[in-house]
Amino acid sequence: MAAESLRSSKLSRTEPKRALSREEIFGLVDAKLALVGERFSRGLGSDVEIVSAMGSHISQSGGKRLRPALLLLASGLCGYNGPHDILYAAVFEFIHTATLVHDDIIDGAEVRRGLESVNHRWGNHLTVLMGDHLYIKAMQFAIEAGDIRILDLLASITLRMIEGELIQSHCNGRIEISEEEHLDIVERKTATLFSGCCRVPGMLAGLPLERQRALAAYGLDLGMAFQIVDDLLDLTADERVRGKTTGNDLREGKLTLPLIYLVKADNPNHLEMIRAIVAEHGFSRVPRELVLDTLRAGGCLDRARSVAEQHAGRARAALAAFPEGPYKDALLSIPEFVLDRDR
């Protein structure tokens, strides 16, 4: 009875024994991440000169590689020792990069990760095609493994991401967008990809469906927390640290959670302030600092942060049934890393 109780206790922990640092988290999969990077860089190469030039520029921009790391850490948690974790980690990085390339066109971005954005350097027409190229490259890589279940999952994820972008573009400029509508967009555009990164290792390892769903739930809530924090950083971050312009969402007419809370308070002065920014696509009439001060004073930033923390807690809870070990500690530590990031 005591042994059973101890076993139950070990399998129900939802906090890391000790919060791991970023270096410790990524250190568990550094060697494999390097192989993912090599695979990704090779995939960006081409004997077509323009594709090769654009691919080289994308490769230089680097990135957090969080999604491949999640897939590799989840593979470790599942005990998967096969050859396909590196392949699928590269697949997810291609899908993610394709979305960034297309997003920069939609947003009219000039900078991405501290470098000139692809669309600013080569124009929208070539950049759309390059984004499409990256999506197809991802699917071409996935076909190598020949797992129709995962191909089906990847197709579903990509469709939901595109649907999310369509819904968001349709809602641009609508200051009456609800919290529920916004969070549906976040789930489609961001969290679904995180969920897939975490579910695929369970599929590769042949885990029971219940465990696969738990991994998917972890990724989904982690992705929700990640994007809500990203939206907060768009309002509050230091541009030099973040590597891109802040205030872009509101400038483009996209109301994120803190701004939705501000609008919901129904203060006429605040509504007029938001309408003015959305109408002019900028902050010449209303300084960005004034918006930030208003959000702070109304508790809107703290309220959005609380929603991110709730999702982070649910992500950790989803791993309760998984066995102890360094991979579980890393995955339990990532939600805190996501909440505390500054870029």
pLDDT for residue 328 is more than 50: yes
The percent of residues in the chain predicted with pLDDT above 70, rounded, is 94
The angle at the Cα of 197, spanning 191 to 201, to the nearest 5 degrees, equals 145
Task: Please state, in angstroms and rounded to a whole number, the distance separating the CA atoms of residues 283 and 291.
Answer: 9
Task: Please state, in angstroms and rounded to a whole number, the distance separating the CA atoms of residues 203 and 315.
Answer: 19
Q: What is the mean pLDDT of the chain?
A: 91
Mean of pLDDT values over 157-179: 95
Task: Please state, in angstroms and rounded to a whole number, the distance separating the CA atoms of residues 100 and 111.
Answer: 11
pLDDT for residue 109 is more than 70: yes
The residue among 41 and 114 whose pLDDT is bigger is 41
* φ, ψ of residue 111 in degrees (nearest 5): -135, 140
Nearest CA-CA partner of 58 in 111, 144, 118, 137: 118
Predicted confidence band of residue 115 (pLDDT cuts 50, 70, 90): confident
Mean of pLDDT values over 45-66: 88
The DSSP result for 115-130, as a single string, is EE-HHHHH-HHHHHHH
The answer to whether the CB of 181 falls within 8 A of the CB of 171 is: yes
pLDDT for residue 9 is more than 50: no
pLDDT digits (tens, 9 = 90+) for 255-309: 999 999 999 999 999 999 999 999 999 999 999 999 999 999 999 999 999 999 9
Task: Please state, in angstroms and rounded to a whole number, the distance separating the CA atoms of residues 162 and 10.
Answer: 40
The answer to whether the CB of 63 falls within 8 A of the CB of 114 is: no
Task: Please state, in angstroms and rounded to a whole number, the distance separating the CA atoms of residues 262 and 294.
Answer: 8
Task: Please state, in angstroms and rounded to a whole number, the distance separating the CA atoms of residues 278 and 174.
Answer: 9
The DSSP result for 25-83, as a single string, is HHHTTHHHHHHHHHHHHHHH--SSHHHHHHHHHHHHT----HHHHHHHHHHHHHT--SS
pLDDT for residue 7 is more than 50: no
pLDDT at 1: 34
